[in-house]
Amino acid sequence: MNKLLLLIFFIATNVFAQEGDEDLKAVFADSQVEGTVVIENLDGSKRYVYNQSRAHTKLAVASTFKIPNTLIGVDEHLVTGKSSVFEWDGKEHDIKAWNQNQTLASAFQVSCVWCYQDIAKKVGAEKYKAYIKAMHYGALPDQFDVQTFWLDGTLKLTAYEQVNFLKRLYHHELTFSDNAFHVLKDIMLAEKTENYSMYAKSGWARRVESPVGWYVGYVESRSGVWFFATNLAVKDAKHLSLRKAMTVRALRHVGAI
Active-site residue numbers?
Answer: 63
Sign of CA dihedral 151, 155, 160, 166: negative
Residue 229 three-state SS: strand
Beta bridge partners, 196, equal: 221
Sign of torsion over alpha carbons 103, 181, 136, 56: negative
Say if residues 102 and 77 touch (Cβ distance below 8 Å).
no
Which residues is 48 bridged to in the sheet?
39
The contacts of residue 138 (CB under 8 Å, 6+ apart) are 58, 61, 132, 155, 156, 157, 161
What is the b/e burial string over 84-95, where b = at least 16 CB atoms within 10 angstroms of the residue's CB? Answer: bebebeeeeeee
Strands 224-232 and 59-60: unpaired
β-pairing, 47-50 vs 102-103, is unpaired
**Distance (Å, rounded) from C-alpha 79 to C-alpha 35?**
34
CA 151 vs CA 25, 32, 81, 96: distances in Å: 29, 24, 24, 19
Q: Is 200 helix (H, G, I), strand (E, B) or coil?
A: strand
